[in-house]
Chain A
Amino acid sequence: MSLLNPTRPRPHRPASTQSSLARVPQLDWLLLVSTFALLALGSVLVWSATAERTDLTGGDPQAFLRRHLVNIAIGVVLAVMVAATDHRWVRILAPLVYAGSLVGLLLVLVMGSTINGSRSWIVVGGMSIQPSEFAKLSVVIGMALVVAERTENSWRQREVRHVDVLGMLGVAAIPAALILLQPDLGTVLVLVATVFGVIAVSGAPRRWLVALAAGGVGVAALAVAGGVLKPYQIDRFMAFTNPALDPRGAGYNTEQARIAIGNGGIFGQGLFHGSQTRSGFVPEQQTDFIFTVAGEELGLVGAGIVIALLAVIVWRALTISARSEDLFGRLAAAGVACWFGFQAFQNIGMCLGIMPVTGVPLPLVSYGGSSMFATLMAIGLLQNIHLRSQRRVGLGFARSRLDRSRF
């Protein structure tokens, strides 16, 4: 509570009375600190996960750390660029980002390389790009934009109507379908959660939320009952409840992840001293199962801090959403919050054996360029929205009014 700005604008109050209070907008420093803390922790964890894995690193213990730091550096630059961009430009560029990620997703299907059973990567000049990571960001922006454009441009239409909901669903459906074709179930689940959250926050009629929830359950039931999913896929999905269902694949991962985390105890084995991590028992440990390194080497304390930092980021995103005056900002920030929150839950839940094994990275922590760029850009977007809602404090209601009637 104390962190909230007590002088938050009240739209019904005459804005002009506050114009003299104009000041230099500040970044959300709590979000900033949490982000950098996670990035730092993530770097150490990636380093620890790969230092002993000569089969992956080719003998250079710092190989992954170095690439991870480069990714962070690029991501931070991107985040700064997004944060510094004028919100109008954000809106202008949003459709381009959306279109770009659609092209990326199509390219993946046409010429992507298959890793771990799904066709999710395009290799460009030695770099693997995973367009589905960017798709999450673009879906968030796209949905926010569709509703914002329609409701803010028309005075007559202030209620979020069925058409708006359909529009948002449409914006989300195309990339979701393309991702489903890869197939990358984990990303689709994150998208579904994000879409649901954005639609809820947009103020759409409650009927829609009920219908969407029911529809989701129905589709899942149909997929299982109708034989769309093969039995082994269901087994793999359900392996987290019983590792014996897929003992060589997801079940093995689940069991090993649990052992590594359980081995940590309260204070952990110490960085670079986790026996399971050092010996490479957990597969994909620097990417999807990075949390197990925290669990084993830093223990309940360290892994708890990772969860707490992610919680802070989601909380800040929701706060920024709540404070945002314009619908675009509110929906985009809420979308990012849903995305981060659900993806973090899914990833950590998978490591802890309470969620199915689906390959989604832990935001800001896992090794991997595309995910790092997309999540840092999302952080930049949150800061952008934060800055804008502060500016409005200074520039007053008129500016806001002007915004809505721009173009």
Chain B
Amino acid sequence: MTSLSFRTDLTAPAGSRRRTFVKGRLRLGVLQVLVMTLFLTLFGRLWYLQVFSGADYQAKAADQSVRDIVVQPARGLIVDDMGRPLVANRTSWDVTVDRTLLHKLDTREQAQLLHRIARATGGSYAEIRARLLLCGEAGSKSGLCWNGSPYQPVPVAKDIPQPTALTIMEQNEDFPSVIVDSQNVRAYPAPYGINAAHLLGYLSPITSDELDAAEARNDESVHGASVVGRAGLEKEYDKYLRGFPGYKQVAVDSMGRVLGDSGEVQGRVGDTLVTTIDSRVQAVVERQLAETIKTARATYDPVTHKNYVADQGAVVVMDAHNGDVVAMASAPTYDPNVWVGGITSKELARLYSAQAGTPLLARAFQGQFAPGSTWKPIMTTGAFGDGYGPSSRLDCSGGLQVGNRLFKNYESASYGYIDFAKALQISCDTFFYRVGLSYWQKYGSDESNVNAKDPLVKIAQAFGFGQRTGIDLPGEATGRIADRKWKLAYYKSMKDYYCKVGKQDGSDFLHRFAREFCVEGYQYRAGDSVNYAIGQGDTIVTPLQLARAYAALSNGGTLYEPRVARAIVSPEGKLLREIKPKVQGTVPATKATLDYVDTALQGTPKTGTIAWRFGGFPLDKVKVRAKTGSAEVYGKQSTSWVASYTKDYVVVMMVTQAGTGSGTSGPAVRKIYEALYGIHGTDVRPSTSAIPGVTPPEKLPVFAEDGSILPPMAATAPSSRRSSGRGRRARTRTGGDA
């Protein structure tokens, strides 16, 4: 179909008209060739698209018209020692509006619809309207406007009650362009009303960096819409809890609306995490901490002439045999539900704000405080390893002159020459000053000798201070032993600053301190060693470190890595992994030394500093060893400490700016022991103890075939527990230490 027949006979009757005609015919021919060339071009291009690069475009077509929809299975449960769920899942219902469909309605219908949604969900019309505006659109409000793709349905009401969601779905003819979405979110059943926010942790959406990292190591357990653990157990055991996502292939249209299914890859529900936490103990501990803080804030402090601030607090209850954390509470705390379904920026700001006391910080293992007198049993153990012994007697005077400074005893009381046991019970400061001073004089009077021997520093290191305990919770603080090396390092880092301050005019404390520091700040002086011996100065510990050290005192010197998780169990109930207690070290102390300290500390609740809080307590049946502490903090009220243990449990409690150890924390510690052992007045009724059988269960909860989780068998038949082969737990039923 190519050509025309052209008239080529130019011999035709001459004339311009003829020429014009011929010219036109020639041009028609050119035109024909031109048009056909264009059409051939089209065909060539068509071939190029469909045949030559057809595979590419077919892949692209499949890519956009078939979508892999992630079917995220439920995250694993976190249960306590009795199988009570601490973290579970629930369905959250969200109302979303498809903007594209909405804008097909006329203005009046749109307004009607939005009013109807507002009425159904209990929201406000104005807010829903604002949520439907794209950020950057005229009239959009930041914080409310939609930041996502304009083609995605916009959520206008989150986490609405299920009946409301069902109503909207049933009446979908009244709700055009409205889609009700459901998603799995975390739920906190809170057995016995526990909070445990710092233990459990929280989730938040995966970041693009994390996603890239997961892709790089071929980790397919996360995807763009994943939420991952950010703190606590949720973070530490994230890879077990998160399960494995399933995928569903669906055909979608250009708006992303699903047209039909085409195959599914099943996902796997996350594994269940069994913890060492006991909800009943945790509940008691949390309540006692809260009440102690409340009481302290209502109590007048005669030293600072105002009520106690009681701004932070922590309690750790540990199984002394193996370092299992039975309960752990920190104050201030927060409601873990604020993270569910996305936290608001206001809530997030509050969690981080210093004004609200940074509730996100878990004081129990992330807070660091001067240990005060609870340090003394550790020092005693150290002193017994180097020269001192049960027969050693030192003067418990009202004060001790060290260099040009007088170090006073608490309230300047004087008791004469006493032994270590008495010094511990009455918490004599001058006694321990003398111990510290003696070592300083013996080994380290050269103030600039960094490597000078110090048995008291050595014993603190052996008890695990100044290093992470290795608990299976992220973000643990190390604490600090203020020894010679630390002092030199600190001097080096701060020298420039203080020397500069020192050069300025001024004779106030800061300037005088700065000048002195600039010249001799590196020197570890007698005063430093004196302060160190009573847990004052720059030494800081976490309550968890102290609990672990006291557990070593209780169990004969074994230092465990504390653990919160006991086992990982598959959704079908199969035990996947048992997390065994891990020994980190052994304290270099003889049994005689530990026994001596143990006996001495038994005296504290009987006749010592905390005896007035243990009146009527059956100490003969439940032998509580205790040490109180009132750590002084420059410019603040003192920190109240009680560190205590039996042969089963360690209980450490701390409240900052709250006065003395016994005065503020004593009653709470007593109540915790009463709950642990089932003590009613002077009666011990083990059947009423918080944990059946008094001590934490030997066995894991029972995972029944129907999916329910029951308490461990051992708990219902305690007699079988003793024969359970794990010798490290051989102990009497009452937990007493006869």
Residues of A within 8 A of B (CB): 1, 4, 8, 11-12, 55, 151, 158-160, 197, 200-203, 256, 258-266, 275-276, 278-281, 295, 299-300, 303-304, 307, 310-312, 314-315, 318-319, 321-322, 330, 334, 337-338, 341-342, 344-345, 348-349, 352-354
User: B5–A1 contact, CB under 8 A?
Assistant: yes
- Per the bound structure, the CA–CA distance linking A322 and B29 in Å amounts to 9
Give the shortest distance, in Å, between A179 (CB) and chain B (any CB): 22
Segment of B15-23, B287-295, B342-350, B518-526 in the binding face: B15-23
| Neighbouring A residues of B17 by C-beta, 8 Å | 151, 158-159
User: A311–B254 contact, CB under 8 A?
Assistant: no
| Neighbouring A residues of B25 by C-beta, 8 Å | 322
- Per the bound structure, the CA–CA distance linking A338 and B38 in Å amounts to 12
Taken residue by residue from 6 to 27, chain B's Cβ proximity to chain A (1 for < 8 Å, 0 otherwise) reads as 1001001101110111011101
- Per the bound structure, the CA–CA distance linking A318 and B24 in Å amounts to 12
| Neighbouring A residues of B62 by C-beta, 8 Å | 275
- Per the bound structure, the CA–CA distance linking A77 and B444 in Å amounts to 116
Known: A203-B24, A259-B57, A318-B28. A265 touches B65 (CB 8 A): no
Most A-side CB within 10 Å, residue of B6, B13, B36, B49: B49
| Neighbouring B residues of A279 by C-beta, 8 Å | 65, 251-254, 259
User: A319–B60 contact, CB under 8 A?
Assistant: no
User: A12–B64 contact, CB under 8 A?
Assistant: no
Which residue of chain B is the closest to A206 with respect to CB atoms?
Answer: B23
Which residue of chain A is the closest to B47 with respect to CB atoms?
Answer: A300
User: B57–A262 contact, CB under 8 A?
Assistant: yes
17 contacts between A and B (CB under 8 A): A1-B5, A12-B13, A158-B20, A258-B49, A258-B57, A275-B251, A279-B65, A279-B252, A280-B255, A295-B46, A314-B39, A322-B5, A337-B31, A338-B31, A338-B35, A345-B35, A345-B41
B45 interface contact, C-beta 8 A: yes
For window 33-78 of chain B, which residues contact chain A by CB distance below 8 Å? 35-36, 38-39, 41-43, 45-47, 49-51, 53-54, 56-58, 60-62, 64-66
User: A159–B45 contact, CB under 8 A?
Assistant: no
- Per the bound structure, the CA–CA distance linking A137 and B6 in Å amounts to 27
Known: A1-B5, A315-B36. A159 touches B16 (CB 8 A): yes
B3 interface contact, C-beta 8 A: yes
Give the shortest distance, in Å, between A187 (CB) and chain B (any CB): 18
Residues of B within 8 A of A (CB): 1, 3-6, 9, 12-13, 15-17, 19-21, 23-25, 27-28, 30-32, 35-36, 38-39, 41-43, 45-47, 49-51, 53-54, 56-58, 60-62, 64-66, 101, 104, 251-255, 259
- Per the bound structure, the CA–CA distance linking A303 and B251 in Å amounts to 25
| Neighbouring A residues of B61 by C-beta, 8 Å | 259-260, 262-263, 275-276
User: A352–B5 contact, CB under 8 A?
Assistant: no
Known: A159-B20, A319-B4. A341 touches B49 (CB 8 A): no
User: A202–B24 contact, CB under 8 A?
Assistant: yes
| Neighbouring B residues of A151 by C-beta, 8 Å | 17, 20
User: B41–A354 contact, CB under 8 A?
Assistant: yes
- Per the bound structure, the CA–CA distance linking A337 and B31 in Å amounts to 9
Known: A262-B60, A265-B58. A352 touches B254 (CB 8 A): no
| Neighbouring A residues of B54 by C-beta, 8 Å | 262-266
User: A337–B35 contact, CB under 8 A?
Assistant: yes
| Neighbouring B residues of A276 by C-beta, 8 Å | 61, 64-65
Known: A261-B49, A300-B50. A311 touches B57 (CB 8 A): no
Most B-side CB within 10 Å, residue of A160, A263, A303, A330: A263
Known: A55-B104, A261-B46, A315-B1. A310 touches B57 (CB 8 A): no
| Neighbouring A residues of B41 by C-beta, 8 Å | 345, 349, 354
- Per the bound structure, the CA–CA distance linking A11 and B12 in Å amounts to 9
| Neighbouring B residues of A262 by C-beta, 8 Å | 49-50, 53-54, 56-58, 60-61
Which residue of chain A is the closest to B37 with respect to CB atoms?
Answer: A345
Known: A276-B65, A311-B36, A352-B42. A4 touches B5 (CB 8 A): yes
- Per the bound structure, the CA–CA distance linking A159 and B20 in Å amounts to 6
- Per the bound structure, the CA–CA distance linking A321 and B42 in Å amounts to 24
- Per the bound structure, the CA–CA distance linking A322 and B42 in Å amounts to 25
User: A307–B43 contact, CB under 8 A?
Assistant: yes
| Neighbouring B residues of A264 by C-beta, 8 Å | 50, 54
Which residue of chain B is the closest to A3 with respect to CB atoms?
Answer: B1
Give the shortest distance, in Å, between A292 (CB) and chain B (any CB): 10
Which residue of chain A is the closest to B15 with respect to CB atoms?
Answer: A158
User: B50–A295 contact, CB under 8 A?
Assistant: yes
Give the shortest distance, in Å, between A183 (CB) and chain B (any CB): 25
- Per the bound structure, the CA–CA distance linking A259 and B64 in Å amounts to 10
| Neighbouring A residues of B20 by C-beta, 8 Å | 151, 158-160, 202-203
Which residue of chain A is the closest to B257 with respect to CB atoms?
Answer: A279
Known: A334-B31, A337-B35. A275 touches B65 (CB 8 A): yes
User: A261–B4 contact, CB under 8 A?
Assistant: no
| Neighbouring B residues of A260 by C-beta, 8 Å | 61
| Neighbouring A residues of B3 by C-beta, 8 Å | 1
Give the shortest distance, in Å, between A358 (CB) and chain B (any CB): 16
- Per the bound structure, the CA–CA distance linking A326 and B19 in Å amounts to 15
| Neighbouring B residues of A275 by C-beta, 8 Å | 61-62, 65-66, 251
User: A259–B39 contact, CB under 8 A?
Assistant: no
| Neighbouring A residues of B43 by C-beta, 8 Å | 304, 307
- Per the bound structure, the CA–CA distance linking A261 and B47 in Å amounts to 10
Which residue of chain A is the closest to B9 with respect to CB atoms?
Answer: A12
User: B49–A318 contact, CB under 8 A?
Assistant: no
User: A201–B5 contact, CB under 8 A?
Assistant: no
Which residue of chain A is the closest to B259 with respect to CB atoms?
Answer: A279
User: A345–B23 contact, CB under 8 A?
Assistant: no
Known: A261-B49, A275-B61, A276-B65. A318 touches B35 (CB 8 A): yes
Which residue of chain B is the closest to A261 with respect to CB atoms?
Answer: B49
Give the shortest distance, in Å, between A253 (CB) and chain B (any CB): 12
Which residue of chain B is the closest to A346 with respect to CB atoms?
Answer: B38
Known: A276-B65, A345-B39. A303 touches B31 (CB 8 A): no
| Neighbouring A residues of B5 by C-beta, 8 Å | 1, 4, 8, 322
Known: A259-B60, A281-B65. A310 touches B4 (CB 8 A): no
Give the shortest distance, in Å, between A300 (CB) and chain B (any CB): 5
User: B28–A311 contact, CB under 8 A?
Assistant: no
- Per the bound structure, the CA–CA distance linking A135 and B15 in Å amounts to 35
- Per the bound structure, the CA–CA distance linking A314 and B2 in Å amounts to 11
User: A197–B31 contact, CB under 8 A?
Assistant: yes
- Per the bound structure, the CA–CA distance linking A70 and B259 in Å amounts to 31
User: A263–B58 contact, CB under 8 A?
Assistant: yes
- Per the bound structure, the CA–CA distance linking A349 and B36 in Å amounts to 14
Which residue of chain A is the closest to B30 with respect to CB atoms?
Answer: A200
- Per the bound structure, the CA–CA distance linking A4 and B5 in Å amounts to 8
Known: A203-B20, A260-B61, A262-B57. A314 touches B12 (CB 8 A): no
- Per the bound structure, the CA–CA distance linking A334 and B50 in Å amounts to 32
Give the shortest distance, in Å, between B154 (CB) and chain A (any CB): 18
Give the shortest distance, in Å, between A31 (CB) and chain B (any CB): 12
Known: A158-B15, A263-B58. A300 touches B24 (CB 8 A): no
Give the shortest distance, in Å, between A52 (CB) and chain B (any CB): 8
| Neighbouring B residues of A158 by C-beta, 8 Å | 15-17, 20
Which residue of chain B is the closest to A301 with respect to CB atoms?
Answer: B50
- Per the bound structure, the CA–CA distance linking A197 and B30 in Å amounts to 10
| Neighbouring A residues of B254 by C-beta, 8 Å | 256, 279-281
Which residue of chain A is the closest to B60 with respect to CB atoms?
Answer: A259
Known: A259-B57, A262-B61, A300-B51. A280 touches B28 (CB 8 A): no
- Per the bound structure, the CA–CA distance linking A158 and B21 in Å amounts to 10
Task: State the 5 A-B residue pairs at the shortest beta-carbon distance, nearest first.
Answer: A262-B57, A158-B17, A203-B20, A263-B61, A279-B253
User: B46–A307 contact, CB under 8 A?
Assistant: yes
- Per the bound structure, the CA–CA distance linking A280 and B100 in Å amounts to 14
User: B57–A261 contact, CB under 8 A?
Assistant: yes
Give the shortest distance, in Å, between A279 (CB) and chain B (any CB): 4
Give the shortest distance, in Å, between B55 (CB) and chain A (any CB): 9
18 more CB-based (< 8 A) A-B contacts, given A200-B31, A281-B64, A318-B35: A1-B3, A197-B31, A200-B30, A203-B21, A262-B50, A262-B54, A262-B57, A263-B57, A265-B51, A266-B50, A295-B46, A295-B49, A303-B46, A304-B46, A311-B1, A311-B39, A315-B1, A338-B31
